[in-house]
Structure 1
Amino acid sequence: MESYRELRERQQKEFNELPLGFAFSMEQFRGMMERWGLDPEKDQDKLYRIPGGGFIQKKDHKHFHEVADRHAAELEAAKKSDTDGTGFLYQMFLYELDNHEYGYTGDLEDTLDCLGLTWEELKASPVMLKALDKASTEIREREGC
């Protein structure tokens, strides 16, 4: 079983390999279109917008969704495989709490937002609560809080 960090890094590598373009100005948009061999004036109908200033060609849209759906399913399966909160879920919380400076801020909100979790979901899952408690306690002890 992959660790949380391994899964995240593998999925990020796969995502980075998707044929996406990003443009935040008309100059960048024209450059992106030219790299794709498209006319920036005539071929806009061949694109879909994605969040964050992103674009994908319609011909690649299905592949984009297949990758995104597979990544979501892999993450859910890994989370469900941790039946006691000491494996994948613990690694997930520890990594994201560190990544969102929990040891400095003491704030869990950014971590929960990043993971797409609500307090209601946490309260409904004793295993996730146990994993979060273990990870946050470790960070507080490490930081001397």
Structure 2
Amino acid sequence: MNQYQEMRDRQQQEFNALPLGFAFGQKQFNEMMRGWGLHPERDVKKICAIGAGGYIQKKDVELLRQTSARHKEELAAAIEADTTGDGFIFQMFYRELKNHEYGYTGDADDTLDTLNCTMEQVQSDQRLYRGFQQACKKIMEEES
């Protein structure tokens, strides 16, 4: 398994362990609140929405922020450590391009969005550009 995939899997496990709740209707919302020991109507001010049907108790918001910041820092450090673009950076682009069906679409926009970067950023960093180009080439070779 590649370093990028290992990092993402570990980070996903850490994120999944966060005290988050998800509700897509009133019944699920009530169950989520009761699961936290909160009253679905009286204690609404003790929680906040995080988007996509997700909620977290306000007392745990800092934990979510810290975890997200640490994950972002880990990714940045791993990218920075790849001095050529042939290692972690290539693995990162390859995995995300494959995941977003670049071989079928030839479109890298979703990949770049997922990685929170722009094509201009990729093109302005030799290492990123090299890893991106190598990943694109490999995927296209696999598809032909």
Q: Which residue of 2 aligns with 1:111?
A: 111
101-110 or 13-22: which moved more?
101-110
Tell me, in whole angstroms, the C-alpha distance in 1 between the residues paired with 2:137 and 2:115. 19
Give me the identity figure in percent. Answer: 50
Give, in angstroms, the shift of residue 98 of structure 1: 0.6
The answer to whether 1:75 aligns with 2:75 is yes
3-state SS of paired residue (2:30): helix
Q: Which residue of 1 aligns with 2:9?
A: 9
Alignment RMSD (CA, Å) = 1.0
Tell me, in whole angstroms, the C-alpha distance in 1 between the residues paired with 2:94 and 2:43. 45
> How big is each residue's C-alpha offset from its partner over 1:29-81, in whole Å with a ceiling of 9 and x where there is no partner?
10100111100010011111112121100111111111111111001000111
The answer to whether 1:138 aligns with 2:112 is no
Aligned length: 143
> How big is each residue's C-alpha offset from its partner over 1:97-131, in whole Å with a ceiling of 9 and x where there is no partner?
11011111111111111111111111211110100
Q: Which residue of 1 aligns with 2:94?
A: 94
**5+ unaligned residues in a row in structure 2: which ranges?**
none
Tell me, in whole angstroms, the C-alpha distance in 1 between the residues paired with 2:20 and 2:142. 40
3-state SS of paired residue (2:48): strand
3-state SS of paired residue (1:55): strand
Q: Which residue of 2 aligns with 1:46?
A: 46
44-53 or 129-138: which moved more?
44-53
Q: Which residue of 2 aligns with 1:24?
A: 24
The TM-score with structure 2 as length reference comes to 0.96
Tell me, in whole angstroms, the C-alpha distance in 1 between the residues paired with 2:16 and 2:129. 32
Moved over 6 A (4+): none
**5+ unaligned residues in a row in structure 1: which ranges?**
none
Which residue identity does 1:8 align to in structure 2?
R
The TM-score with structure 1 as length reference comes to 0.95
